[in-house]
Amino acid sequence: MTFLPKPKVRHPSLPKNSLGLTRRDYEGGLSTLCAGCGHDSITAALIEATWGLDIEPQNMVKLSGIGCSSKTTAYFVSGGHGFNSVHGRMPSIAMGANAANRDLIYVGVSGDGDTLSIGLGQFCHAIRRNLNMAYIIENNGVYGLTKGQFSASADVGTRAKKGEVNQQPPIDPVLLALTLGATFVARSFSGDKQQLVPLIQAAMRHKGFALIDVLSPCVTFNDHEGSTKSYQYTREHYDAAVNVDFVPFQKEISADYAAGDVLPVVLHDGSRILLRKLDASYDPTDRAAASMAIQEHLKKGEFLTGLLHVDTNGKEFHEVNETPSIPLNQIPHDRLSPGSATLAKVLARYR
Amino acid sequence: MTDRVNDFAIKIATVNGTGSASANTLLMKSIFRSGIPVMGKNYFPSNIQGLPTWYEIRVTRDAYVARSGKIDVMVAMNAETYARDVREVASGGYLIYDSTWPRPNLLARDDITVLGVPLAKLCNENFNGVRTRILMKNICYAGVLAALLDLDVENIRGLLAETYAKKPQLVDSNMKAITLGYDYAKQNLQCPLPLRVSKLEKTAGHIMIDGNTAAGLGCVFAGATVGAWYPITPSTSLMDAFKSFADKLRVDPDTGRKNFAFIQAEDELAAIGMVLGANWNGARAFTATSGPGLSLMNEFLGLAYYAEVPAVLFDIQRVGPSTGMPTRTQQCDILEGAYASHGDTKHVCLYPKDPEECFYFTRDAFDLAERLQTPVLVMSDLDIGMNDWMCPDLKWDDGYVPDRGKVLSKDEIAKLEKFHRYLDVDGDGIPYRTLPGVHPKGAYFTRGSGHTQYGAYTEDSAEYQIVLDRLSRKFHTAKRLVPKAAIEHDPKIDIAIVAYGSSDGAVREARDILGSHGLTANYMRLRSFPFGEDVEKFLEAHKLVFVVEQNRDGQMRSLLTLETRVDKARLRSLLHYSGLPISSEFIVNGVLAEVSPKTRKPEVVPAAAKTSGGAA
């Protein structure tokens, strides 16, 4: 994990959000990823999204595992704590952190190796718990840091840089998440900032586990002919099904849309996601239909993108656990420890 | 046999899943309630129903807490294990069996008294239903023992009434079975036996509790708010206890909300990850596991050591290697606990001797973990964790203030020019930390990769070493913060015993017995790792030191030789690793084999130390 401090240059004309902060205040260290890496575009979208949501930087918690993708957490919102954990185990760190303080905003950034191989178990169980976090997979089908091995998301027939052809079927995180009951499932492309920024904002405001699988080409090891995760392939086979406008509660505006095209979804804090369906027959609230549509497109070698499924009725971890609204790490000790008189009563059972 | 009042051991051989556990608890507790100190040990299979299981009750007027190594009364209820059960009875002892069917092989010994009671017949005549008859047969032997040992039947009735407060009809049927056995014994056998109980006043101010319950209770009182775990014997009951206490004691009366989070993880990898995430974010969080689980947690323990994240981990040790014998006890994770994970890692370990110490060490573990910003492993074992031990009443100091360690407040962060996560500001090796959500100036990046004392990534040798060396200093600081060894040191004596954890009770009794042979040995009970100067001095002061442990390889002896200046040749291992709790007899025999009480001159073996292995 490399972190080079980026000099802060203040310019009076930079636009400010309602907290008086500019986009520069949401940046992090200088990226050390390869020039042209899709991941850096996602970092830019994360900066734009958090700035636009007026998030207090210290309320951001950025979590990651190991790999190129996991470096991303060092490159945005330097005013928020980051936790670069061990390979594939970020969801458990996020679970514990979230259990301790439900008030913060948790963003996990992972990759296809970190999520779909070594971390597949933890990924699945975080979904089952409906852990309240935004979980971004920077998906490039390849192990970058160890120089080009196939990941579990590599498509059958994909040719590695050194010529080897992948024969094992891929794990699709989006389809997997749907079958596990995920309440927010999206796919996007690192090159489509227009689509990605509102998706990230919606994911951060969604109550529960919000997955965004972002196709993010690896310029060094997987951007050649024969790869289905190259820039060229992705741009050519990229089909937006449901795009999103995110409207924070405080910023209700009369949205520019024609009735019938747009499905508004109200989130728990009053903010809204406006789903702009490009295909009128697509129903993003129907889990089974979403799954079918994604598979139909995959058969044709196409990636359906946008907010593919959303369910705002799911109970997130704290609701199931019945924890109080005050974060557990802020309950004073005298309310946690029952005291000597209670202990004496408890001991009666053991006489 | 001459009268042996309040000083004998009973062993009950049954089949698991037949209700014998209730009968055994009933017997033990009724003796306890008569004011007589008692020990209970459960030797159970890794199985739900149908395999052999034993329960050992030692009635001990001198309040010893370990096995003596001898069985005076055997209740042989399991035909499958008759042969070995008969063999185990001490000469002059008694064997009670179900005489519904002839059992000629039980009569093979003429140095013990065999007493037959037609338990199955009695229950078949008085109860209906196969399952009820089996269950009642086991309650029935408790009635037989009550008559033979002169137990207080009113105590038994009282205990049943408490157990079945919500099902009074069960009190009646159980009492009926007790009475059947009791009356049969009174009418047909000579009651009471020379081995019997007689009321004492020695259990007031004491409880019978297991270590997992005490630790779970300790977590509630110490203010733990997050418990994450994956089920594994024999640690599961610790988490069950925490949940059960917290459900009663931690629910907000106004809102009904739970002031704790209880998370059953998908595996031990996730359980320890959750504990790190929660502690990192300012909650007191813990997990409980056993051998295989501890192995899985290694990677994260290394991260916690290096990134300096507090964590409390209970390792309820069981027999290894690998799956081993999950329901048997050992002290076999000592080295793994101390050095868990790759790279240069060391961990603070606490070694509780019994459930009472589990309770207090739980509180200490949370304080130490947050003070030192590192994992603390409470190294309990199955014997402590799952058996009921007689302990003094647990006490709680209402003035206790948790030590949350060096966590900077919002105002403190605001005043800083710049926050440096891993800088040794105070010279004790312990840096300052910040929590998320407090102040943007306090933000830093937690990582398991190389980092500088300022918290930045590094691959620079010098920068890396500064942090690694400070971690060493921090571990040195830990030496004066961890619980001190319990030392009994008479400078005139140059022989000593060193032990830890659940071996303590057996050592105490063994020292008394050795004393009666004219041999006195000093005693040091290790209570924690890293070892302090007191440990060094004690080892230096003795020519011969017996290190008593419940593992094959003498792991604590190894740890002592690695971490102190002690001359290896002076340390003699006494190793008990059968899976059963260590007995005083084993230690006495081990010491006497090496040291003649008459000359009191140990035969010091030069060069490579000799180890006496083997189980009791």
Question: Which tens digit of pLDDT belongs to each residue from B160-213?
Answer: 999 999 999 999 999 999 999 999 999 999 999 999 999 999 999 999 999 999
Question: Quick one: angle between helices B236-249 and A340-347, nearest 10?
Answer: 120
Query: According to the model, what pLDDT value does residue B554 have?
Result: 98
Asked if B282 and A329 come within 8 Å (Cβ–Cβ), the reply is yes
Q: If phi over 0 gives left and psi between -120 and 50 gives alpha, with beta otherwise, what is residue B603?
A: beta
Predicted local distance difference test score (pLDDT) of residue A261: 64
**% of chain B at pLDDT higher than 70:** 97
CA–CA min distance B388, chain A (Å): 9
Q: What is the pLDDT of residues B293-326, one digit of tens each?
A: 999 999 999 999 999 999 999 999 999 999 999 9
Residue of A nearest to B446 (CA): A83
State yes or no: pLDDT of B149 exceeds 70.
Answer: yes
Range 49-78 of A in CB contact (< 8 A) with B? 56-59, 61, 73-74, 78
pLDDT at A1 (0 to 100):
41
Say whether pLDDT at B71 is over 80: yes
For A254, residues 6+ apart whose C-beta sits below 8 A from its C-beta are none
| Secondary structure in 3-state letters for B309-323 | CCEEEEEEEEECCCC
Q: What is the model's pLDDT at position A10? A: 67
Torsion angle (degrees, nearest 10) of CA B354, B359, B360, B361:
70
ipTM of the complex: 0.94
Which pLDDT band holds residue B105 (cuts at 50, 70, 90)? confident
Residue ranges, chain A, pLDDT below 70: 1-10, 249-261
Show the tokens assigned to A246: 């995110």
> Domains of chain B (ranges plus CATH)?
4-196 (3.40.920.10), 209-392 (3.40.50.970), 410-481 (no CATH), 486-594 (3.40.50.920)
Instruction: Determine contact, residues B124/B144, Cβ cutoff 8 Å.
Output: no
Q: What is the pLDDT of residue A330?
A: 98
Which one of B213, B440, B457 has the shortest CB-CB distance to A79?
B440
Whether residue A351 and residue B33 make contact (CB cut-off 8 A), yes or no, is: yes
Integer angstrom CA distances of residue B408 from B205, B326, B427, B441: 42, 43, 17, 11
* CA distance, residue B460 to nearest chain A CA (Å): 12
Nearest-neighbour CA in chain A from B258: distance (Å): 5
**Could you give the CA distance from residue B383 to residue B355 in angstroms, rounded to a whole number?**
10
- pLDDT at res. B599: 55
Give the closest-approach CA distance of A224 to chain B in angstroms.
Answer: 31
Residue of chain A nearest B32, judged by CA positions: A351
pLDDT value for A222: 87
Which pLDDT belongs to residue A9? 66
Query: Chain B contacts of A86, Cβ < 8 Å?
Result: 273, 299-300, 303, 448
Query: What local confidence, expressed as pLDDT, does residue B608 receive?
Result: 42
* Domains in chain A, CATH or no CATH each: 23-350 (3.40.50.970)
Residue B83 has pLDDT above 70, yes or no: yes
Question: If we measure between CA atoms, which residue out of A99, A31, A88 comes closest to residue A61?
Answer: A99
The reply to whether A322 touches chain B by the CB within 8 Å rule is yes
Mark yes or no for CB contact A81/B443 under 8 Å. Answer: yes
The alpha-carbon gap from B360 to the nearest alpha carbon of chain A, in Å, equals 13
Residue in chain A nearest B452 by alpha carbon? A3
What pLDDT, on the 0 to 100 scale, is given for residue B155?
A: 94
B611 pLDDT above the threshold of 50 = no
Q: How many CB pairs under 8 A join A and B?
A: 236
Q: Chain A residue with minimal CA distance to B255? A: A324
The mean per-residue pLDDT over the stretch B15-38 comes to 93
Residue B246 has pLDDT above 60, yes or no: yes
Query: How, if at all, do strands A142-143 and B522-526 pair?
Result: unpaired
The stretch B44-53 carries a mean pLDDT of: 89
Residue of chain B minimizing CA distance to A321: B261
- Residue B313 confidence (pLDDT): 98
